[in-house]
Structure 1
Amino acid sequence: MNDIPSKNSKRHVILTLLFTGWCLSYLDRMAMNVSIVEIAKEFHLSPSALGVVLSSFFAGYALMQVPGGWLADKYGSRKIITIAIIFWSIFTVFTGFAWSLLAMIMIRFLFGLGEGAYPAASSKAIADAFPKDERAKAQTIMMSSNSLGGVIAPLIATPLLVWIGWRNVFIAIGLLGIIVAWLLWYYLKPENLSENTGENETKRTEKPSFKELMKNATLWKLGIMWFGMSTLIWGLISWMPVYLTQVRGLDLLSMGMLTSIPALTGAVGTIIGGRLFLSHFYGKEKIYATLFSLLAILFLYLLFNAPSVALVITYQSLCTTFHGLVFAIIMAMPHQVFEKNVIGSSIGFINFLGMIGALLTPTVMGMLIEIFNGSYPAAFSYLIACAFLSVLASITLARPAESDVDMPAQSEG
C-alpha cells in the first residue's frame, strides 16, 4: 500500500516528461512556420516552393509513423523516444545552417523522420505506465501539448527571431532537445514502465499481426477522421502566418502574438475532451465527433470570410477548440479499444493517415494560392473539403462495445 503514492508520483513525472517532449517537438515545427516569412525572403521562394519546404517535414514524419509504432512495440518506448529526440534535435540544428532550397528540403525531411517515431512511442509509454482506465485521460493531457506548443512557439520563437535571426533560433532549440532527451532516458526506466499498470485486462499469448490489425474498421475510421482534422489544423498552422502578414497586413510580432490564441483554445479543447471522454463521450463518440467536426468546419468557413482581424482570430479560436475536442476522441479511443501490446502500432497507423493530410496540405494550398494569384479562398476551401471526410468517418464510427475489434475493450465500471 505504501508504494501506491510512489507509483502515482512516477506516473506523473513520466506524463510531465512526455508532455515536455511533445511541446519541444511542436516548438521545433512551429519555429519553421513562424520563420517561414523570413526564410521565403532569403531564399526568394514562390508560394509553391514555400509549400514544398513546409511539406518536406511531413513527408518524413508520415513515413516514420508506422515503423515508429512497430519499433516501440518491439523494442520499448524508452529507446525509441530517446533516439527520436536526439535525431530530430540534430536536424533542428542543421536547419539553422541550411544553404539552399534543396538543402532545406532534405534537412526538414530528415527532421521529420526523427519526429515521426515519437507519437507512437510516447503513446506506448502511456499504455505501459498507466492503468487502462487512466490512459485516455493521460493520453489527451499529453496530446494537448500539441496546441500548447502552438502557444509557446510564437511567444518564444518570434521575439528570438527578431532578436537573433531565424538561423540561431533553430540552433538554440536543437540544443535544448539534447537536454530533454537525456531527461527522458533517465526517468523512463524499465522499473517505472513495468508492473505499474494494475490493470484487469485479458492478455493474449500472441501479439496480433499487423495484417490482423489492418482488418480493424475502427482503426481505419479513426485514421480517416484524423486525416480530415489534420488537414484542417496543419493548413491553418502552415499558412495563417503568411495569410495574416500578407493579406491582413499584420507585422511579424503582432502575427506571432495573435496566432498563440487559437493554439491555446485548441489545447483547452483537447484537455476538456480528454476529461469528458469516459464521463460523457464514451459510447456516444460518433455523435460528438460528428457534431464537433461540423462546428470546426463552420468556423473555418467564417474565418476566411471575416471582415476584420479580430473576427479572424475569434473564428480560428473556435475552430481549433472544436478540432481539439475531435482530436481528443481520436487519440483516446485506441486506449479503450486496443490491447496495450499494439498501442504503438495502432496509434502509429492512425497518425500515418493524419500526416498524409498534413503532408499534402501546405503544398496543395501553396499551389492553389499561386494559381489564383495570391487569393486564399480556394486554398481554404480545400481544407473544408478534406475536413468533411472526418464528418463522414465519424457518422459510421462504432462504439467501443460494438466494435469489430477482436482485442478486448475495457468493460464499463
Structure 2
Amino acid sequence: MKEHGYFPKRYFMVVGTFLLALLLYIDRICISVAKDPISEALNLSDKQMGWILASFSLGYAFFQTPSGILADRFGPRRVLTMIVTLWSVFTALTGAAFNFISLLIVRFLFGAGEAGAFPGMSRAIFSWIPLKERGLVTGINFSGSRLGAAFALPAVAWMVNDFGWRITFFILGAVGVLWALAWYFLFRDTPEEHNGISKVEKEFIIASRQNKKATKTKEKIHFGTLLKSRNMWLAMGQYFASNFTFFFALTWLFPHIKSEYGLETVEAGFYSAIPLTFGAIGNWVSGWLIDRIFKNGNWNKSRILPASIGFGLAAIGLLGSIYMDSAVGAIVFLSIAIFGADMTLPPSWAFCVDIGQKHSGTVSGTMNMAGNIGAFITALLFPYLLAWTGSTTLFFIVGAALNIMAIFIWYNMKPSKHFSLY
C-alpha cells in the first residue's frame, strides 16, 4: 500500500525477509523429498533417516539463543549475511555426503547455520516495523517459509529425478550465497542508517516503535532474568507443541503419503504441497486477525485468540486424518492441521518482539530453541512409533494432545509485559 504518495521503503525489507523465509524452507525440506535416493545411495534405514532429520533440529535448537544474541548485538545485516552464507555452504555439502555419519554431521551444522534466520528477522522487524503492522508482517514472513516448502516438494522432486540429488543440493547452495550478497549491500539495521528512506517514513517508524531508540544493543542480557520469566517459559511450551505438528509436514509427510497411499514421487510431492500452501494461508489469516484485534484496542487478545484458534484446528486436523482411507481425505485433514499450526506462528513471534523489544532476537531465539526440541522429537518419534505399533495413529494422538495443552498455556501469557516483569 502507498503511504504519503510513495511506496514505503520498509516494505522492501519485508520482501527481503519473505524471500529469506522462502529459501530457508526450500533448503530445509529438500532432504525429505530426496529421502529415497539418498537412502538407496548411502544404504540408510528409516530410523537412520530419522536421526539425520532430527540432527538438523538439534543443531537448529542449540544455536537459536546464541544467534539471537548476535543479531541483537551486531545487527541483522551482518548476522543474516553470515548465517545464510554458512548454511548455504552446508546445503551444498549435503550433496557431497558419503555415509550415515558424514550426512549426520553436515545436517547438524546446516541446522546450526539456519538457527539465526528468524531471530535475525525478529530484530529487523523490531527496528523497521511499527507495532500496529507487526502481526501481518510476521504472517507474511512465515507464509514465505510455507510457500517455499510447498514449492520445493514438486520442484525438488523434479530436480532430483532429472539432475540427481547431489547436483540439486549444489544448486540450492549457490542460490543462498546470492541472497546473502544482496542483503548485505541493500539492507541497513535501522531506518536511521538507510540513506534511501524518506524523512517522513523515518519519523513515522521511529514514532511508532515500542522503544523510540532501536540501535544495536550492547546491553548484556541476564539469562537469570530470562529464565525466571513466566512469559518466556510459556512461550517456549506452546511453541514446542506448534513445532511438533508442523515439523511432521517438513519431514515425514511426503514419505508417509507416498508410502501409505502408493503414490509416485512427483504425485506425492504435489499432494504434500497442499497442506503447506494452507499453512501459508494460515499465516496470512492469523497476521491479519492480530492487527485487526490490536487496532480495536486489545493487545493481549490480539495474540491469544488467533493462537488458540490455530491450536484447536491443528488438534482437529490431526485426529481427523487418522480416520481417512484415501490420500485426498488425509490431505484435507492434514491441511486443516497445518493451517491451524501455522496460525500460531504470527502471534508467537509477535509475542517475542512484544516482550523482548531490544532483546527480540534473544527472546525469539530462546522460544524457537524449545520449538525445535519439539521438532527433534517429531523427527524421531514418527519412525519409532510406526515401528513399535505398526501404525501412525499414536503419533497423531500425541500431537493433538499437545495442541490442546497449548491453548491453556496461551491464556496465561501476557504480551504487554516485558519478559523481565512477568
Answer yes or no: same fold by TM over 0.5: yes
1:393, distance to aligned residue in structure 2 (A): 1.3
- Residues 229, 270 of structure 1: CA spacing in aligned structure 2 closer, same or farther, 3 A cutoff? same
Q: Which residue matches 2:206?
A: 198
- Counterpart for residue 359 of structure 2: 342
2:106 paired residue number: 107
* 1:17 Cα offset (Å): 1.0
**Who is 1:60 aligned against?**
59
Secondary structure at 1:283 match in 2: helix
Q: 2:317 pairs with 272, 296, 299, which one?
A: 299
Q: Does 1:353 align with 2:366?
A: no
Distance (whole Å) between structure 2 residues aligned to residue 193 and residue 277 of structure 1: 27
Q: Structure 2: which amino acid aligns with 1:360? A: I
Q: 1:316 to 1:55 in 2, by over 3 A?
A: same
Structure 2 equivalent of residue 330 of structure 1: 348
Instruction: Determine the structure 1 residue equivalent to 2:199.
Output: none
1:362 paired residue among 360, 379, 400 = 379
Tell me how far 1:247 sits from its aligned partner: 1.4
Output the amino acid matched with 1:299: G
Q: Is 1:254 the counterpart of 2:267 in the alignment?
A: yes
Does 134-143 or 69-78 show the bigger shift? Answer: 134-143
Superposed displacement of residue 326, structure 1: 1.6
**2:198 — aligned with what?**
none
The TM-score, its normalising length taken from structure 2, stands at 0.89
Amino acid at match of 1:335: V
Shift of 1:264: 0.7
Q: Report the 3-state secondary structure (helix = DSSP H, G, I; strand = E; otherwise coil) of the residue aligned with 1:45.
A: coil
Greater Cα offset, 347-356 or 378-387: 378-387
In structure 2, relative to structure 1, the CA distance for the partners of 1:286 and 1:139 (3 Å cut) is: closer
Q: Distance in 2 between matches of 1:5 and 1:214?
A: 46
Tell me whether 1:238 sits opposite 2:251 in the alignment: yes
SS of residue matched to 2:252: helix
Matching residue of 1:411: none
For 1:171-182, list aligned pairs within 5 A.
171-182=170-181
Gaps of 5+ in 1: 409-413
What is the TM-score with the length of structure 1 in the denominator?
0.91
Q: Offset of 1:207 from its aligned partner?
A: 6.2
Aligned mates of 1:404, 1:151 — CA distance in 2: 36
Which residue in 2 is equivalent to 1:214?
227
Aligned residues: 401
C-alpha distance in 2 between matches for 1:291 and 1:131: 25
Q: Which moved more, 1:135-144 or 1:355-364?
A: 135-144
**In the aligned structure 2, how far is the partner of 1:236 from the partner of 1:28?**
14
Q: Contact 1:223–1:350 at 8 Å: present in 2 too? A: yes
For 1:188 and 1:378, the matched residues in 2 are separated by: 46
Q: In structure 2, give the amino acid aligned to 1:391.
A: I
Q: Which runs of 5+ in 2 are unaligned?
A: 195-201
Return the offset for 1:88: 0.4
CA drift at 1:356: 0.8
Query: Take 1:265 and 1:193, find their aligned partners in 2: how far apart are those partners?
Result: 37
Structure 1 position 263, deviation (Å): 0.6
Structure 2 partner of 1:377: 393
Q: Tell me the CA shift for residue 194 of structure 1.
A: 4.2
CA deviations 1:85-132 (Å, max 9, x no partner) are 100000111001110011000000111111011110111111122223
Equivalent-residue separation in structure 2 for 1:29 and 1:63 (angstroms): 17
Q: CA deviation at 1:30?
A: 0.9
